[in-house]
Structure 1
């Protein structure tokens, strides 16, 4: 009995103790789930105890609470658009979790005007360039990073000089006289790629630099290119040329990280011109002199030999280096990104250089559950030492490219006494190319402060108020001096100097309210409204003295200048007030609607047209969400979209609608001079924005779990009320005036195809983009032009048809259109067959705009190695190349093509003889400027933490830029930069992560 009693008691005790033991194992775990990219709380995220059905979801503030059965178990966290995570509990009671966004392109968060959207919900045409795609690129400015990476964006090189400007056209040029550059929005502050540099001397000595060179490319997180009206209309009167949104890096990660990124490279000229050597040019000049019955200047050309290669004298291997240190943290309520950068690029032309010093602080502070403060601030100082490039005028100051041609290879660099040679046979306006470039002093220093501060307040769930203040402060100082002893213009004027100062203050205020709501599970609504205001003040002064007593002091002794001094100053101001509104609506994750409206009031336009109104609408339909697509497993996403809207262009100078007066005139009364004033421009109170109406039809397709991705668009842009400078009759007393007249159309298509071709141990990712744009002038209105024709694109080359040369006197006698010609002279076609050769025989012989552009980027990976190959090209563009092919009156060098020129001993040649004088712009000078370039090849190795403890993720790389060009063009570069050639760069870089 006792035994049975004790056994029963023991069983009861065990039965009592088991629940207590199980209860002891249970533990409550709480925490907050946020997004890695922006720190936003993630409501509705799923939290599951692995191996059980025990689960919960986060609340509207991203907080969760779960009672787990195993305190050493694992939590599984999932959220749409983010990577699923497994986190060990390890007995903890509080676990905060940071979620990383999915790499799928459809889940990508895209920055749009005044907000963000997921890629899958976008209804407009937007191209994205991530920081990974532009990592470790030795670019001076952001526009170099865009070239070839976004469909429909044509980027061409104006100059290869350090800090040289690039031209950007999104879906063609939307204007003829107003600006065609897109609007840049850098951390919410709208800016234009307008250098705001002080002008150079009155002799055209200065070429503006690239305003975007002040922005450190290493700070960029992402670039979004907004192309259609649905995406750009929210920027209203500034959206017709497209919008490029640049977002810089912000604090991320759960601990402070320190990164160092640096590279060092060497640049060399990418392509040397194939010009005559000393002996060849001496023989040419002998022929040239004989054609004018002059004695031969070189009795023994063979004695000259190769002579001087002026390209070798003016170009050099040049160093380029970049060093950046950044600190970043995304932990807690204060997140920050801080960077300091030093960039130094020597130009491949002697005596040219650019340095940039920049510092950035980006911060995000959570002041309370309802209030958030953000700020972005960068300061940069750029110092350019430049040489004359395009823009040098009247031959008094020659660009680098002109010096190459203008100087004969028969001339040595130095005289016997060691001084520079500065004169040669039949030379006009001669100077030593080397001495002039080495002694010209041209220094441009610029300071730029760009940033914003914003305060966000969420009084209730789903409602956010945001107020932002942005600033863009620029200060520029330009100093130039052209010595008497070594430059032609300096010798002519006894030394020429210039000091220019310019200060620009741009202030922005934006106030927006955003409401988001999901209701009845299938309806998602976002409402945006706001008011913005922006004002700019631009003040500049210039002083241009001449007649200096001593070259050594230059502009540091203006008071001693005895020549005439030109003094100028100007003040320009403009302001804009705007109201914005947008609706984003999504039903059942497949029907999409975006509608926006902006009203802009600008001081730049006439009293009757201060305000302009710019609406847009876009629709999207995601077929992949339809039930009938469920069995089509290989389709990950399929969306059709269409948009229509109006955008504008206000890029003209201030006060263009007002009459202007000059006081630089004098009148004679009673034989005495009196100062007087007169009107120089008519008032036009009706002046208003150009307006561009654009529609776009597009498709977004992702296949095989988004491993293959396709985006295609077809668009049409019609610009009307062009801001056009119209010539006025002389009796009006004015030469021209600005009116709204004429029209321009652009239409075309774009395709972007990307794919993860191989995954696993060996990876291969490729992206290719292709775009074709067809522009045409639809109307000239009241304007007249000698180069613009209705039905033709802008950028035409007008000229004669070249039919070779007159090989003999018989061919001359057989025609009557050309008179006073000799055998070996150029023959031009009598197009209209009237027996005369005149302007009526000219044709539109070519166009400077490419017919299509393309880019191809391929990334191969194996273990820790990565190889990137990036190609870019353009086709269908023409260039007119006069220098080196024709026969100017000076002794400039020539292309080796002229070695096969017509002569009595070579009568069958179709290249004109030396000394021919009937030079006309014709198809003889027209060249095909199509090209394919290897823009970048980069091999990198990333260290793992197991191999190098504490440095996991660090990498080293070798990179080559602008390595090879396939083209028939005989100039320096078909992409531009003829007056300052482009360079090939080889470099080594390292990226250290601590």
Structure 2
């Protein structure tokens, strides 16, 4: 019924005006400061649905306009203006540029002007987001906000990413920031049902189901003052995503579409067929085995498996949106279709998305708000990580480990499935082509709310949100073409998961001004959220044949593994925040939230998370104004406590496993046993954080600078510790240990030119250091006090022994030969043993940065976006550099290995006998990436009813600069599925 009234309002509004003489009104919309025309500005008639957009010269024309009408003009980045027609046929309109300080920023449960912020908040606006068409919303943020690190674990369509805000705050609990999408809190955690018990399934990115074209802005809340309003879920930062909404005026129809070409971003430099045959001969000779190849030269280049497994792939995106409305009813409707073929054969993703956002002013006091989106995704997946003791290999590994000495087909025309040294034979190509892995997901995300103005300055808002997810996973591994399938005469799985997440929020806000110098805003509320997850799976084996796959499940002969699961959790919260301002100079914010979570034991379910922040706008003081230097100068400081509850359900309880068999009276009976110890003391992981910041603006705020220094201590870590064997259990979850993160963030924005030629620069930089302050009760052997999580204890590689003289010149390594690996005697005791291991590695980047240049000249625009990370270290692909291993190809640089015929070789010999985990594999993962380049042209004027027309060419992930010696597909992505370079040709049309 509500929508029928909305539609009626849209249709009848033009006739509701008093019958006044009407005329044609023309005019130009210009910048009030520079006088330049504003193309694409909206000019509407107050109280009517009539509106238009200005052309390239800022000109507009409206018909049948009453002489006493009032025109409403608006443009992004400018203050809206009301101009009376007053009987004129020509009405010029000049818009004042909106001050950066007056920009409205979305914060938790409300909004604030940027000048009034006391917390550390970074905003990424629609104008920035639209310059980079991407498949997933998380990639929009990469390099855009200081202190936010986004990494790809896979280049697969819909593949997982990790997001870190000011480093990782936990060891065993979640480290992803809280996402708030149109008011609904959620995490970027996989909700997919599991795959086979052999680990063949790779989870997808939950955010890939959300249409990035619908996003209006993203706010990143970083310090405790900004995030404490989210209490137990704020310790990892908060990302507030706001989607687009309608504006008053005629319906605006927009189409945005592109087609793109993808190809692997890089290739690994591997041995060719002859070189690998030579290596295998050397290995066999060192191992006292017959040489497998009599004439390596006859093999030549051999088979390039990277060429066969990777491909050039297409991707396309089409979006149609309709927006508009009257003063009382505004709407935004969009539909999206996205299709991306993967650069690995037999992979890809499709997404269908619909959105309906409605704002309805029911009467002067009551407003109805709706945000609703439905998404459907279909993933055709391939393994992106090795699983099941290498019974299933990732797509990337198949490409780089398969021997180039083996042809694609054998002499009978069949796919080659075996070569020298391989123990689990299958064709790298055919196994990918014939494996079926299809994941379907449906997601309904919606929020309905009523906002009531109780009295002047006092409003109450109540919303109900739902996040409904259905996931279905189907995998089939044929017996004839896959190794894992051959073990079980065909292996399949049918799995599903249904998730119901319900949210209710009730918030009251009061705003007042006292004596023209005091401003006060108080917010209080109660929220409640619950989630129920149901899943089931069956894993059949022993298929009669491979033809029908899982459709022949009724004819299987193996005993299927059947599982089902039901879990739920809930959280209730009380929140309060007070913002106070004195004379536009002194700013204060106080926040507290109380959360009660079902994830902890009774008596420990409630946690309390306060924060306090102060700010001083020095730029409002006369002694600062008189300097003529600063347009804005604000210092701010904050301290607060936030929490983390992201652990599995029922961790505080003693849990049972029920799939056990026991023998009683010579018969098998079902039974159960306790699988974990109860921990009634389990409670919140808490992070206390303080932040000191400075905001500055120069040259009429054309140059803006933000600096923050922070320190975050996470106490009572939710830590999995080892238990003594006599307890009967191996591990348990406890609150113990302490982790520290501290760092610096810098943001710089500059509008260098603002006339016909425009040039703006946005840059950001962050430095973060993490270290374990205490392990508490944990006896972890992979974490070390004073070092960051992720470092390793390893031997230090010190080159090779080239000859007997070098061996004789040292005494700590015994039983070695020329060509063997040399390790450092770290403690200098003359004995080489485990005491000579060192803590090595730098798992987190020391510096992350982004630099975005936007240039324009009349209708042309050019965007160039660079992003990088420095100081991170990681391991090279072990198999490709391990000369003792024989079942895979090798890195090309191993042709410079030591051998009797190459005594000057600098790398270990084939068949080396003293291979140990060491810094031999450690490499610098630093990079600077040309993340995006986009050239666009805005066609001037109107063409056959088209109000705006833009064409653009965009290139993504084009070039990556790394340190010498880096080996891998991409330092920013995994090796299981390489990242792609993409070129897009797009079109944006407005009607």
Fold conserved between structures, TM > 0.5: yes
Residue matched to 1:50: none
Residue matched to 1:931: 927
Cα deviation per residue 1:545-592 (whole Å; 9 max; x = unaligned)? 111111011111112111231111111100000000000111111111
Choose which of 530, 554, 557 in structure 2 pairs with 1:559: 554
1:351 and 1:688 mapped to 2: Cα distance? 45
Partners of 1:547 and 1:562 within 8 A in 2: yes
Do structure 1's residue 913 and structure 2's residue 904 form an aligned pair?
no
Secondary structure of the equivalent of 1:607?
coil
Residue matched to 2:795: 800
Question: CA offset at residue 669 of structure 1?
Answer: 4.8
Question: CA offset at residue 628 of structure 1?
Answer: 1.5
Choose which of 707, 718, 728 in structure 2 pairs with 1:712: 707
Q: Map of 1:563-712 to 2, 5 A cutoff?
A: 563-669=558-664, 671-712=666-707
Choose which of 381, 387, 403 in structure 1 pairs with 2:382: 387
2:573 and 2:279 mapped to 1: Cα distance? 65
Partners of 2:879 and 2:885 within 8 A in 1: no
CA RMSD after TM alignment: 2.4
Residue matched to 1:17: none
Which deviates further from its counterpart, 618-627 or 883-892? 883-892
Residue matched to 1:222: 217
Do structure 1's residue 990 and structure 2's residue 983 form an aligned pair?
no
Partners of 1:593 and 1:617 within 8 A in 2: yes
1:203 and 1:770 mapped to 2: Cα distance? 42
Secondary structure of the equivalent of 2:816?
coil
Residue matched to 1:185: 180
Do structure 1's residue 243 and structure 2's residue 232 form an aligned pair?
no
Partners of 2:253 and 2:322 within 8 A in 1: yes
Q: Map of 1:277-288 to 2, 5 A cutoff?
A: 277-288=272-283
Partners of 1:81 and 1:107 within 8 A in 2: no
Which deviates further from its counterpart, 698-707 or 81-90? 81-90
1:38 and 1:726 mapped to 2: Cα distance? 61
1:275 and 1:236 mapped to 2: Cα distance? 51
Larger Rg: 1
Question: CA offset at residue 612 of structure 1?
Answer: 0.2
Residue matched to 1:375: 370
Which deviates further from its counterpart, 901-910 or 420-429? 901-910
Secondary structure of the equivalent of 1:133?
helix
Partners of 1:508 and 1:535 within 8 A in 2: yes
Do structure 1's residue 364 and structure 2's residue 371 form an aligned pair?
no
Partners of 1:152 and 1:771 within 8 A in 2: yes
Question: CA offset at residue 837 of structure 1?
Answer: 2.3
Partners of 1:957 and 1:990 within 8 A in 2: yes
Structure 2 CA distance for partners of 1:101 and 1:495, relative to 1, 3 Å: farther
Residue matched to 2:55: none
1:111 and 1:80 mapped to 2: Cα distance? 17
Partners of 1:943 and 1:951 within 8 A in 2: no
1:152 and 1:378 mapped to 2: Cα distance? 30
Residue matched to 1:964: 959
Question: CA offset at residue 76 of structure 1?
Answer: 12
1:877 and 1:677 mapped to 2: Cα distance? 46
Unaligned runs of 5+ in 1: 1-35, 43-70
Structure 2 CA distance for partners of 1:37 and 1:479, relative to 1, 3 Å: farther
Secondary structure of the equivalent of 1:536?
strand
Partners of 2:884 and 2:910 within 8 A in 1: no
Unaligned runs of 5+ in 2: 1-39, 47-66
Residue matched to 2:838: 843
Which deviates further from its counterpart, 925-934 or 276-285? 276-285
1:92 and 1:112 mapped to 2: Cα distance? 43
2:41 and 2:210 mapped to 1: Cα distance? 22
1:101 and 1:579 mapped to 2: Cα distance? 41
Which deviates further from its counterpart, 550-559 or 314-323? 550-559
Q: Map of 1:48-447 to 2, 5 A cutoff?
A: 83=79, 85=81, 87-91=83-87, 102-447=97-442
Choose which of 886, 898, 901 in structure 2 pairs with 1:902: 898
Structure 2 CA distance for partners of 1:769 and 1:244, relative to 1, 3 Å: same
Aligned residues: 928
2:548 and 2:686 mapped to 1: Cα distance? 52
Which deviates further from its counterpart, 851-860 or 137-146? 137-146
Secondary structure of the equivalent of 2:159?
coil
Structure 2 CA distance for partners of 1:84 and 1:496, relative to 1, 3 Å: closer
Partners of 2:348 and 2:379 within 8 A in 1: yes
Cα deviation per residue 1:865-922 (whole Å; 9 max; x = unaligned)? 0000000000010111113111253331111110111112222323000111321111
Question: CA offset at residue 348 of structure 1?
Answer: 0.3
Partners of 1:183 and 1:239 within 8 A in 2: yes
Residue matched to 2:784: 789
Question: CA offset at residue 630 of structure 1?
Answer: 2.6
1:162 and 1:76 mapped to 2: Cα distance? 44
Structure 2 CA distance for partners of 1:463 and 1:86, relative to 1, 3 Å: closer
Choose which of 496, 503, 517 in structure 1 pairs with 2:491: 496
2:826 and 2:369 mapped to 1: Cα distance? 67
User: Which segments of structure 1 move beyond 6 Å, counting only runs of 4 or more?
Assistant: 36-39, 71-81, 97-101
Residue matched to 2:26: none
Cα deviation per residue 1:927-961 (whole Å; 9 max; x = unaligned)? 00000000000000012225x36333321100000
Question: CA offset at residue 629 of structure 1?
Answer: 2.2
Cα deviation per residue 1:140-177 (whole Å; 9 max; x = unaligned)? 21110011000000111110000001111100000000
Q: Map of 1:713-752 to 2, 5 A cutoff?
A: 713-752=708-747
Structure 2 CA distance for partners of 1:81 and 1:560, relative to 1, 3 Å: closer
Question: CA offset at residue 99 of structure 1?
Answer: 11
Question: CA offset at residue 117 of structure 1?
Answer: 0.5
